[in-house]
Amino acid sequence: MTLESMHSVGLLVPPSNPTLEIELKQLLDDQPYLYVSRLPVFPDCDLAERNRRYLQEYLDTSLRFGKLPLSAILVGLTGSNYASGPGEDRRFCDELSARLNVPFVTTSLAILELLHHLQFKRLHLELPYPQWLINEAKCYWEQAGIEVVAANSILDALQVQDAYAIDSEALEDYLQSLTFQDGAPVLLSGTGMRTVGVIEDLIDRYPAPLLSSNLAAARWLLSRCGDRGLRGSVLFCKLYEKLERFASMSDWSEVDSLFNPF
């Protein structure tokens, strides 16, 4: 069996992100094959300037995949895209898809596609960002027609400096302290934040749907491989089945009584 006959996907990753590749491999399983190209380092820039510069590097970073036969390319990044808004985000991705001749998406659009697929129209944001970036994220989702019922900084709540420093046990405890609103899943957005293990630990006892950037990214990559035999890992199937169960029921208090997390 040749590489051309197998599914392969490309992933653009911020240079210091220690989490995304690990969690996507947990969710995708052995296929599709995952190839990574890292965005440039901008050591003298603050977060706002770095986010702006990343946008200008999506094409060149994608071209470093050379002639690899990729089924799709995903940017493992959300913060850079929020200021553009969903309309410009999609236009830019469509433009790059045409230039690269391969489906191309940002993680923010992968999340939006997941929300639309599951027909979630409200959202509770829990983000590892400073307040100005949370404001941009809130505007992005509202422009996409999503009602944002809460938008909180996990950095402030846990008193840490960035997403990479968030402790999984502390995050789990924090999530269990939240107040929920009907019809609003909790989105843990930020590809560098460790979320998969936390969601797995809470899967059979959390009263609201838990989404993450990395779960949405895995779902989008699998959907673009065009082979129904690629379902993702057992872990992905377990987490995604729980989301579908929430999406199918109006009374979320009944979800756990009907869900078997095998």
Report the pLDDT averaged over residues 238-245.
Answer: 94
Q: How far is Cα 233 from Cα 245, in angstroms, rounded to an integer?
A: 18
- In the predicted structure, residue 227 carries a pLDDT above the cut 80: no
pLDDT band at residue 228 using 50, 70 and 90 as cut-offs? low
Q: In 31-106, which residue ranges form alpha helices assigned H by DSSP?
A: 47-63, 79-82, 85-100
| Token couple for 189 | 């957005």
- Average pLDDT of the chain, as a whole number: 91
Q: How far is Cα 41 from Cα 67, in angstroms, rounded to an integer?
A: 24
Report the pLDDT averaged over residues 42-52.
Answer: 92
CATH number at residue 196: 3.40.50.12500
For residues 251 and 32, which has the higher predicted lDDT (pLDDT)?
Answer: 32
94-133 confidence digits (pLDDT tens)? 999 999 999 999 999 999 999 999 999 999 999 999 999 9
> How large a percentage of the chain has pLDDT more than 70?
94
> Which are the contacts of 183, defined by CB distance < 8 A and separation ≥ 6?
120, 121, 122
pLDDT band at residue 229 using 50, 70 and 90 as cut-offs? low
Entry pTM: 0.93
For residue 250, the model assigns a pLDDT of: 80
How many domains does the chain fold into? 1
For residues 160 and 259, which has the higher predicted lDDT (pLDDT)?
Answer: 160
The residues pairing with 123 across neighbouring beta strands, listed in sequence order, are 148
30, 236 Cβ separation under 8 angstroms = no
For residue 255, the model assigns a pLDDT of: 72
- In the predicted structure, residue 156 carries a pLDDT above the cut 70: yes
For residue 1, the model assigns a pLDDT of: 45
For residue 262, the model assigns a pLDDT of: 45
DSSP at 4: G
pLDDT band at residue 259 using 50, 70 and 90 as cut-offs? very low
Sheet holding 147-153, edge to edge: 147-153, 122-127, 186-188, 210-212
Residue 245 structural domain: 3-258
For residue 251, the model assigns a pLDDT of: 78
127, 189 Cβ separation under 8 angstroms = yes
> How large a percentage of the chain has pLDDT more than 90?
81
